Chain A
Amino acid sequence: MKLWRWLIPLAAVPVLALLAYGFRVSPRDIPSPLVGRPAPGFALSTLDGAPMTLEGHRGKVLVLNFWASWCYPACYEEAPVLERNWRGYRDRGVVVVGVDIQDKREAAEKFVADFGLTFPIAQDLKGTVSVDYGVYGVPETFFVDRQGRIRVKHVGAVTDDVFRKAVDRLLAEAGAP
């Protein structure tokens, strides 16, 4: 009889433990299985009509940014950050590349003009590249090292801090320049 009295509060312990674990994990934090793996190849063409491939940037630190003109406010916040850092790092072996997804061409061109973006930007009209990279929302940014491996995936607007921390780390690594 004594045992019974203890059993009910005792049964709550595993339930509480499970809830404590569950509430501590953010459902928005979905770990990408691609981090540490080779970046999937792609062949797109930029808004200017130039070819844009992964192989074309081999040996450089690549910042691959998925965005859309309808993604307000995050994409609007990070556009100046990306442009500023692209200008600051482009002579040090860093390439910033934008991939516009689920968007209209005119809207994308207006976005690029409004922010005066000068780094190469291509549209992924069929969504194949975004699915290849496991993109589930915009903005998402992948930092690819000189060996072509995805090292960091950042979900949400990129800040100066995020950009510099990731890129400086990858630049500091020895690699085929």
Chain B
Amino acid sequence: MSRLIALLAAVIVLAATTLHASGQTAKPVSEDVVHEVAVQLRCVVCQNLSVADSPSEMASQMRAIIRERLAAGESPAEVQRYFVERYGEWILLAPPRRGFNLLVWLLPLAAVLVGLAAAALLIRRWTRRARTAPTSPVAVDAAMSERIRRELERES
């Protein structure tokens, strides 16, 4: 029985040391990569600030968590997925381009296209009116031109 316990203890110690070792061999994380992940995440206690830009304690804790996860070997995409799993898509400053969110990306584009089409249509109509205007001569008969001439003479 005591031998079993000793064996168990040895296994636990071995497991602990290998775990510790794997923790120590964690690859160095560049601050650029941490920033790259943090800048896409919403600081949860701020208004429209990213985790990278916020000076709050919560944001600094989140940056530390990002750094730790990257050091443990996770890819930036995996770290981002971890935050989305916890907070939902709300945590992303830019909504992913699918489903209902597509409206955010497509609506401005559609508005610009409709605006351009309307402007083109109106410009065409205006220029057509300007072109056609001088080509329609005003009918002036002889009596009228005679009257204009007389009135002009009287003025001078």
A residues with a Cβ closer than 8 A to B are: 18, 30-34, 102, 126-128, 130-137
Question: Which listed residue, A31, A126, A132, touches B86 by the CB 8 Å rule?
Answer: A132
Interface pair B88/A127, CB less than 8 Å apart: no
Does B105 count as interface, using CB distance less than 8 angstroms? no
Indicate whether B58 reaches chain A with its CB closer than 8 angstroms: yes
Also in contact, A131 and B62, with CB within 8 A (given A102-B57, A137-B45): yes
**CB neighbours of B65 from chain A (8 A):** 126-128, 131
**Can you name the residue of chain A whose Cβ is closest to the Cβ of B89?**
A33
A128: which B residues are within 8 A, CB to CB? 61, 65
Can you list 18 A-B contacts (CB < 8 A)?
A: A18-B103, A30-B87, A31-B88, A32-B87, A32-B88, A33-B86, A33-B88, A126-B61, A126-B65, A127-B62, A127-B65, A131-B61, A131-B65, A131-B83, A132-B86, A133-B86, A135-B44, A136-B87
Interchain CB contact under 8 A, B44 and A136:
yes
Name which of B83, B85, B86, B88 has the most chain A CB atoms within 10 A of its CB.
B86
Interface residues of B (CB under 8 A from A): 44-45, 57-58, 61-62, 64-65, 83-88, 90, 103
Q: For the complex, what is the distance from the CA of A126 to the CA of B62, rounded to whole Å?
A: 9
Nearest 7 interchain pairs by C-beta: A127-B61, A136-B44, A134-B86, A134-B87, A33-B88, A102-B57, A30-B90
Question: Which residues in B have their C-beta under 8 angstroms from that of A134?
Answer: 86-88
Is there an interface contact between A126 and B64, defined as CB atoms closer than 8 Å? yes
Give Cα distance in the complex from A22 to B33, angstroms: 35
Query: Between A and B, how many residue pairs show CB distances below 8 Å?
Result: 44
Taken together as a complex, chains A and B put the C-alpha atoms of A30 and B84 apart, in Å, by 13
Query: B45 near A30 (CB under 8 angstroms)?
Result: no
Chain B's closest residue to A103 (CB) is B57
Cβ distance B29 to chain A, nearest Cβ, rounded Å: 16
- Which residue from chain A places its CB closest to the CB of B66 in the assembled complex? A131
Please name the residue on chain B nearest to A124 by beta carbon: B61
B-chain residues with CB within 8 Å of residue A130 when the two chains form the complex: 61
A56 to B106, CA, bound (A): 50
With a 10 A CB-CB cut-off, give which of B57, B65, B87 has the most chain A CB atoms.
B87
C-alpha gap A43/B139 in the complex (Å): 98
B88: A residues at CB distance < 8 A: 30-33, 134
Q: How far is the CB of B70 from chain A (nearest CB, A)?
A: 15
Min CB distance B118 to A, Å, is: 10
Residue of A33, A126, A127 touching B85 (CB-CB under 8 A): A33
Residue of A nearest to B59 (CB): A127
Q: Give chain B residues whose Cβ lies under 8 Å from the Cβ of A131.
A: 61-62, 65, 83, 86
User: Which residue of A has the minimal Cβ distance to B88?
Assistant: A33
Given contacts A127-B65, A136-B44, A137-B44, contact A102 B58 (CB under 8 A): yes
Chain B: minimal CB distance from A4 (Å)? 10
Q: How far is the CA of A130 from the CA of B61 in the complex (A)?
A: 10
Given contacts A136-B44, A137-B44, A137-B45, contact A127 B87 (CB under 8 A): no
